[in-house]
Structure 1
């Protein structure tokens, strides 16, 4: 009888923890989706809810000479907000997210998204976004964003 009760408690606890983790992963995914909505629609209020004031943003790519480069965005928070303010209703930015990989450990989350970026329905580039998020007392905020950019081989991350 004791073994049955212990087993039942373990199964119940496992299901409960898995449900909590799925809920956190969903909240993290929504934060990233809202980041893109705010960014591409010029909605600075929505954007501000998704990013930390201390966000770090970088991009990496291979230049025309075949040299790998890493560029940091100075004052990333202000730069992202100012860009969103400059978006006009006629601008059509579309970052098509092809996949999400999400990991959560307590108040830290990591999100890896494969994407294709279009400007006014014209293909611009593709790559991977890597987000680090912090759960700021119930609100997932992006604290770090780095992406890769390339013009081809968009269906899978490069090795």
Structure 2
């Protein structure tokens, strides 16, 4: 009985460690995505996606109505490339909540967005990823955008 319990504990430890490693790999992919984003490295950003992924943003307009904006990944890459080099922008990730099931993962990342050193907006990114050939690739990205109810309005 003791051996059976030890074997069970060992198997559980292996599963938990494998899950933790995959969560770390997903987090590394998201961090790498934002490093490429900040460097305007559209070649790297393109390689991190599986196909022409769908991108959506949810916000509220001046009348208080929820707005869903959709764009394709190729347009996103063109927009990133067109930001003048004398402009600074930073999407500061505040946390990671990552779930993994086999070759599928979800990463929920609250953020603040700064443009030219000024706070612009905050929200949450929700990434859907697929593991292909031992690499995590982004297949879907939706975010929220708001100016109120943000955690901080100072750049620390």
Residues 95, 115 of structure 1: 8 Å contact kept? yes
CA RMSD of aligned residues (A): 1.5
Matched, 1:112 2:112: no
User: In the alignment, is residue 138 of structure 1 matched against residue 134 of structure 2?
Assistant: yes
Q: Is the 8 A contact 1:56 1:143 kept in 2?
A: yes
**Residues 1:97 and 2:65 aligned together:** no
- Aligned pairs, how many? 152
The normalised TM-score by structure 2 is 0.91
Which aligned runs of 4 or more in structure 1 are off by greater than 2 angstroms?
A: 83-91
Output the CA distance in 2 between the equivalents of 1:29 and 1:115. Answer: 14
* 1:149 aligned partner: 145
1:43 Cα shift? 1.2
Secondary structure, aligned partner of 2:95:
strand
Q: TM-score scaled to structure 1, two decimals?
A: 0.89
Measured in 2, the distance between the counterparts of 1:78 and 1:62 equals 25
Match of 2:63 among 62, 65, 87: 65
Distance 1:34 1:80 in 2: 17
1:38 paired residue number: 36
User: 2:3 matched to which residue of 1?
Assistant: 5
Where structure 1 has 5 or more consecutive residues not aligned to the other structure, the ranges are none
